[in-house]
Structure formats: structure tokens, C-alpha cells
Amino acid sequence: MHKVVEHCIARVTSMVNAELADTEDIVHPVGYWQGRVEQLFFTGISAASVKADVASLRATYQAIIDVGGAWPPRKYR
């Protein structure tokens, strides 16, 4: 499940970075950014993308087994 969580975090991080790059005034209270991150998560992470990550886990696990427990090829991460 690490793959699924990491992909969600990467998507949200990318969206936050894009917003920061487009915003001149980034000085806001912590509560503001907490709310923005929540909004970005709920609007930017779809059930379909999570479902696709979960569906790919079987192939990822097999790729890890195939390389003796080492890092699998990049397409499986």
C-alpha cells in the first residue's frame, strides 16, 4: 500500500507546489494551508487513480519477488 500512499502524497505535493508558484503572497495562517491541502486532496485525488494504483499492486509485488526483494524496475514503483 506504500505505493498508493506515496502516489497520493506526490499528487498533492505537486498541486501545492503549483499553487505556491502561482501565488505572490504565500504568508497565510497554518489553518489556511491546512484547508487548502485538504481541498486539493479531495479535488485532486480521484477514486479511479487510487483504484488503478491498488490494481497495480499485484504486478508490483511480483516484480519485487522477481528481483529477489530488491527495488523493482521503475515502471512498478
User: What tens digit of pLDDT does each residue of 6-42 get?
Assistant: 889 999 999 988 988 877 776 788 898 899 899 999 9
Reported as half-sphere exposure (CB side, CA atoms, 13 A), residue 4 has a value of 15
Model pLDDT, residue 39: 93
The Cα-based distances of 43 to 26, 36, 38, 65, 72 in angstroms read: 21, 10, 9, 35, 31
> Rounded distance, CA 41 to CA 50, Å?
12
The pTM assigned to this predicted structure is 0.67
Q: What pLDDT does 27 receive?
A: 78
Residues 36-68: tens digit of each pLDDT: 899 999 998 999 999 998 999 999 999 999 999
Sign of CA dihedral 25, 30, 31, 36: positive
